[in-house]
Amino acid sequence: GAGVSQTPSNKVTEKGKYVELRCDPISGHTALYWYRQSLGQGPEFLIYFQGTGAADDSGLPNDRFFAVRPEGSVSTLKIQRTERGDSAVYLCASSLLLTGGAADTQYFGPGTRLTVL
């Protein structure tokens, strides 16, 4: 079946602008995650949704970052007043939200490369 998709694949914006990044998870996956990957680093967790609600937003760096998942499927990561330091690849992942000790494997999309000039 289709994997996790993300749009756009590349986004170039100017400092101070607002951007939205979209993630379409694997159909039927209850959990959705956003990560940010800076050059030469591993992905860093931003926020996790269980259904429509943000179950853990402890990784959001500041209040310029916000994410929604209004119908429990597609999610949008929103960044206000972008800064050059926000330049990174933003990765989305989804999982079935298995419980009871099972490995709840996260499947990743190809990412959106954000460049803030």
Partner 1 sequence: GEDVEQSLFLSVREGDSSVINCTYTDSSSTYLYWYKQEPGAGLQLLTYIFSNMDMKQDQRLTVLLNKKDKHLSLRIADTQTGDSAIYFCAESIMDTGRRALTFGSGTRLQVQP
Taking the complex as a whole, the smallest distance from the CB of residue 114 to partner 1 amounts, in Å, to 14
User: Hey, is 24 helix, strand or coil?
Assistant: strand
Number of Cβ within a 10 Å radius of residue 45: 15
Instruction: Please tell me whether residue 12 binds partner 1 under the rule CB under 8 A.
Output: no
CB neighbour list of residue 91: distance below 8 Å, 6 or more residues apart? 6, 34, 35, 36, 37, 43, 108, 109, 111
**108 near partner 1, rule: CB under 8 A:** yes
Q: How far is the CB of 24 from partner 1 (least distance, A)?
A: 13
Binding site for partner 1 (CB under 8 A): 4, 31, 33, 35, 40-45, 48, 55-56, 58-59, 91, 93, 95, 101, 103-111
